[in-house]
Amino acid sequence: MIKRLKYIWDIESTGLDPLDSRIVCVSIIDLQTDEVKTFIGQDEKKVLTEFWERVKGSVELIGFNSDGFDMPFIIKRSLINHVKTNPDVKSTDIRKSVNGFWFSYNARSRGTLSDWAKILKIPVESEAGNAIPLLFVENKFDEIEKHCVEDVTITRKLLELAEYCNVMRSK
């Protein structure tokens, strides 16, 4: 049996619609080595190509709301940019487990990544995600990277809690 490499991941984009917006940053934490890697810049095709090159093979991408937002967004942007993806990737969205969405889905229920950061008392020092489009226009890539890395760090801590409490559930 082939062992899947596991990465926590998050994207930052200039908006919510992948047909009108673009990806400016992707951060990952390699759960085997604890290495944090960020792919960022003006050249979206380069960001996407470098990301997909890093996560090739048998991998699991673990994110927060990643099935609802990140994965569909990055697939569409990869198609638009003619970038080869990884058809073998497994996606795990921990939002479904920690918010109990496997059992009942309520779109109005609280439980965003920011909510969980507050509950877990994880300090948030970067700009909010809705500031990314302006930060991009102002070429403040260091601030965008700081936010994206902060999000994958929060996601990792939430994953560790979810695993400890046995709330993670496979598809």
Q: Where are the domains of the chain?
A: 5-164
Does pLDDT of 19 surpass 70? yes
Q: What is the pLDDT of residues 69-123, one digit of tens each?
A: 999 999 999 999 999 999 999 999 998 888 776 555 565 566 788 888 888 888 8
**Closest among 55, 62, 140 to 97, alpha carbons compared:** 62
* pLDDT score at 37: 98
Does pLDDT of 170 surpass 70? no
* pLDDT score at 49: 98
Q: What is the mean pLDDT of residues 117-143?
A: 89
* pLDDT score at 129: 79
Bridge-based pairing of strands 36-40 and 59-63 is: unpaired
pTM: 0.91
**Confidence bin at 130 (pLDDT 50/70/90):** confident
Q: Is 53 helix (H, G, I), strand (E, B) or coil?
A: helix
* pLDDT score at 35: 97
Minimum mean pLDDT range among 15-19, 37-41, 105-109, 142-146: 105-109
Give strand ranges (E) for the chain: 5-13, 23-30, 36-40, 59-63, 90-93
Helices (H), 59-139: 71-80, 94-98, 113-119, 132-137
CATH class of 5-164: alpha beta
Does pLDDT of 132 surpass 60? yes
What is the Cα–Cα distance from 112 to 99, expressed in whole angstroms? 9
Tokens of 100: 């109990």
